[in-house]
């Protein structure tokens, strides 16, 4: 999937989401780590999650027992 985003300098950039490594809050912007580098964009992390149809992680939700076996 390709998405069009706004760079911190106001220019538009289109990226291939197949190569995303991580999406991180970075002040009032969002830092995207891509296999080819990093990109600071104006869109919020939540807006990116919605565009990518991802659910944000509930960091306050129930905790998993670290001794439990993974499936």
Q: Is 60 inside any structural domain?
A: no
Q: Is 18 inside any structural domain?
A: yes
Distance separating alpha carbons of residues 32 and 26, to the nearest angstrom:
9
Structural domain for 27, as ranges: 2-51
9-55 pLDDT tens trace: 999 999 999 999 999 999 999 999 999 999 999 999 999 999 998 88
pLDDT at 55: 81
- Cβ(26)–Cβ(40) under 8 Å? yes
CA dihedral 58, 59, 65, 67 (to 10 degrees): 110
pLDDT at 23: 94
Average pLDDT over residues 4-9: 95
Domain total in the chain? 1
Say if pTM beats, i.e. exceeds, 0.75: no
CA atoms within 13 A on the CB side of 66: 0
């Amino acid at each position: 999937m390709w998405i069009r985003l706004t760079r911190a300098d106001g220019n538009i950039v289109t990226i291939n989401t197949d190569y995303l490594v991580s999406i991180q809050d970075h002040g009032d912007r969002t830092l995207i780590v891509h296999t080819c580098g990093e990109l600071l964009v104006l869109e919020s992390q939540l807006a990116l999650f919605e565009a990518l149809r991802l659910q944000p992680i509930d960091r306050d939700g129930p905790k998993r027992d670290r001794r439990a076996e993974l499936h």
